[in-house]
Amino acid sequence: MPDAALPALSLVASPGKRRAVLDLAVEAEQRGFAGIACPSLGSAMSLCVSLAHVTRHLPFWTSIQPIYFSLPTETAGTASHLHEVSDGRFRLGLGVSHAPVHSRLGVQAGRPLSDMRDYVAAVRAAAGELTPPIYLATMRDRMLALAVEIGQGAIWANAARSALPGQLTRVPGAAEEGFFRANMVPTVIDDDRAAADAVNRRTMSGYVTLPSYRSYWREAGYAEEMTAIEAALAARERDRLPELLPDRWLHDVTLSGSVAQVREGLEAWADMGVLPIAVMSSTSGGQAKAIGELFAAYA
């Protein structure tokens, strides 16, 4: 795990704002943030190529690059290039994405575990000694175990903080020193916590429509909540989803509130050996405003 007091930061390369996003990355490096995670939204690999050239010391990684969206040879070519030109600061985060996304894009997905194993092997074969460290996007135990077996780290997204210690205990090797662990945490800073929670509820209303996330949260202790959500989805009542996300669940998988409350939450993730990746939103603006609020929280 990186030894850093500050969290990592998620950056999306929004069309029309990409130069401004790179400026935020440079500022994050200057301020001492622990790293930059690049989601697939906005083209993760493209953003990483730019980060290799505008930053000097900061580690950065895809979080994540979906394996079904690019041939392993193509991914390997870009990943090995990034590994070389960044002097080893790039990490390749790979994931399987989600069945509704596959369906929408017309992607034919197979068995996640075996496909991931084969994909990683193909990337390593093509990239050779220029293969960067590989992190796997994980939620449940079997993918985490695969990450321990064939990768150098694991990245959760929207994980339940109450459930992570037990999972790290169950999966051999997951808690070992030297194995990278990080979690993408939806975060809103505002002294009006109810307003901040409302933003996170809107964000999480999309995630609860995904079956793989619901299965994870059900196992994490939120079976009743997931059953209610599935009933609303079956009744085509998606507008009811925010009201079905109680504080107990929301505050376990997101962070909200004052600077002190958010910093305390980020530190709690770090204390359990999981690097928090702040996925910022704001009650009064877009990505740049939200990230500015995070910068101010650690000024």
Lowest mean pLDDT among 38-47, 151-160, 181-190, 223-232: 38-47
CA gap 44, 204 in Å, rounded: 21
Report residue 95's pLDDT band, with 50, 70 and 90 as the boundaries: very high
Q: What is the CA radius of gyration of the chain?
A: 18
Residues ≥6 apart with Cβ < 8 Å to 30:
none
What is the rounded average pLDDT of the residues 146-174?
A: 98
Is the confidence at residue 215, as pLDDT, over 70? Answer: yes
Tell whether omega for the bond before 277 is within 30 degrees of 0, i.e. cis.
Answer: no
CA gap 292, 64 in Å, rounded: 24
Is the confidence at residue 32, as pLDDT, over 80? Answer: yes
Report residue 69's pLDDT band, with 50, 70 and 90 as the boundaries: confident
Helix (H, G, I), strand (E, B) or coil at 256: strand
pTM of the model: 0.95
Is the confidence at residue 21, as pLDDT, over 60? Answer: yes
Is the confidence at residue 85, as pLDDT, over 70? Answer: yes
First and final C-alpha spacing in the chain: 23
- What the block records as the tokens of 96 is 């399987």
In tens, the pLDDT along 128-158 reads: 999 999 999 999 999 999 999 999 999 999 9
Give the CA distances from residue 84 to residues 77, 110, 127, 131, 246, in Å, rounded to whole numbers and listed in that order.
11, 32, 11, 9, 46
* Mean pLDDT of the chain, nearest integer: 94
In tens, the pLDDT along 266-277 reads: 999 999 999 999
- What the block records as the tokens of 141 is 């135990």
Lowest mean pLDDT among 27-31, 94-98, 142-146, 275-279: 94-98
What is the rounded average pLDDT of the residues 193-208?
A: 97
Asked if 24 contacts 286 with a C-beta cutoff of 8 angstroms, the reply is no
Is the confidence at residue 55, as pLDDT, over 80? Answer: yes
pLDDT at 1: 38
What is the rounded average pLDDT of the residues 156-173?
A: 98
pLDDT at 43: 86
pLDDT at 194: 98
Give the CA distances from residue 119 to residues 10, 39, 64, 184, 274, in Å, rounded to whole numbers and listed in that order.
25, 19, 14, 23, 25
